[in-house]
Structure 1
Amino acid sequence: MSLRGHLLVAEPTLDDPNFARTVVYLIEHSEGGALGLVLNRPGEVPVHEAVPSWAPYVDGVGMVFVGGPVSPEGAICLARCRSAGPQESLFEGTPEHEPTALFKPITTTIGAVDLHGDPSDAPGGITALRVFAGYAGWSGGQLELELESGGWYVIEAEDDDVFTDTPERLWRDVLRRQPGSLRSVAYFPRDPRWN
């Protein structure tokens, strides 16, 4: 089953500095691998410096986020649209029936935007935009092994998770809204010795 459009929330004892206390939004997941973006690490470069033509579409936090450790010199952009349309694989070529190659739907309301394109060619109804430098990537089967070992919680994503104005609280906020014992994980101390 594909986890595309879901969140990976780091288990509190995950100590890899690239992923400790992160929330990752999966934009692709198949047998060939997975690709995601860290949602809760705003960087230090303003969007208006990195991609000035797209800056007017950014709502909320106006910084380029650190999307992950892979290809940090590259940028991926997510946009919220009133209706993104049918989901298409980001790993495949542009299908002929897709309305625009500038926007590739991930869910019915969120898609990836080609930052090399002209913003005036973007589909109507874009209500938010977020730019990420780098991404998190897993080869085929790698993410499944990490899930089996308990390194991540898989959680349904909400659009507001992707475009939150308070990324520093996202890890805790996502866990706090979960039912049962998973909610208590939100209060797990950063240093287990404090427990």
Structure 2
Amino acid sequence: MSSSLTGRLLVAAPGMRDPNFARSVVLLLDHGDDGAFGVVINRPLEVDVDEVLPDWQPFATPPGRLFQGGPVGLDGALGVVLVPDGSVPPPGVDRVTGPFGLVDLDTPTDEVASRLGELRVFAGHSGWSGGQLEAEIARGDWLVLAADERDPFSGSPERLWSQVLRRQGGDLALFAGAPVDPRLN
């Protein structure tokens, strides 16, 4: 794969069997020859942000929960933010691509929060070594699709997999209604 997929979505193909990624939607935050890194954006946990980062709770996009970003580094947290178009990210925020940025969660909230559009906090992340993701895409495990700036902050994360597929139209939209176990279709 010759071009970076940073800022794109990886949508698990309906037949994905890996329980870490079945029906997942991953926002890729970095992709290059050395590998890829992202967060699963549709797996809310039953833990409010204030249980681990109380200062950030008032700024967390509803439902105000932590999300499981992937199977790697579950003891760490990442803050993905929406940086309004044309604006310079505030101190403590690095723009990743387009409207998406990462906030340093050690930054005092009063220096940053008023200048952010949205915030979602992820426990852990998803990662691939060099060539691993490309092999999984070639095998048909993932669909690579454009991200909408609202996707990581969806108010209905449990329906995001179907919503992303449905908005593609055509054959991909048909996958949106696929059963969890395609053998039962």
Pairwise same-fold verdict (TM > 0.5): yes
The alpha-carbon distance between structure 1 residues 66 and 180, as it changes in their structure 2 partners (threshold 3 A), is: same
Aligned position for 2:11: 9
What does residue range 66-85 of structure 1 map to in structure 2 within 5 Å?
66-83=68-85
Of 162, 165, 169 in structure 1, the residue corresponding to residue 152 of structure 2 is: 162
1:172-193 deviation line (CA, Å, top 9, x unaligned): 0000000321110111111223
Aligned position for 1:43: 45
Q: Which runs of 5+ in 1 are unaligned?
A: 87-97
Identity %: 46
The RMSD of aligned alpha carbons is 1.6
Q: Which runs of 5+ in 2 are unaligned?
A: none
**TM-score normalized by the length of structure 1:** 0.89
What does residue range 132-143 of structure 1 map to in structure 2 within 5 Å?
132-143=122-133
**TM-score normalized by the length of structure 2:** 0.93
Verify the 8 A CA contact 2:73 2:124 in the aligned structure 1: yes
Task: List structure 1 segments (4+ residues) > 6 angstroms apart after TM superposition.
Answer: none
Q: Distance in 1 between matches of 2:83 and 2:68?
A: 22
Q: Distance in 2 between matches of 1:84 and 1:105?
A: 12
1:11-65 deviation line (CA, Å, top 9, x unaligned): 0111101000000000000111100100110012110111111111112111100
The alpha-carbon distance between structure 1 residues 125 and 99, as it changes in their structure 2 partners (threshold 3 A), is: closer
Of 160, 163, 168 in structure 2, the residue corresponding to residue 173 of structure 1 is: 163
**Structure 1 residue 127 displacement after superposition:** 1.8
**Structure 1 residue 115 displacement after superposition:** 0.5
Verify the 8 A CA contact 2:36 2:130 in the aligned structure 1: yes
* Matched pairs, number: 183
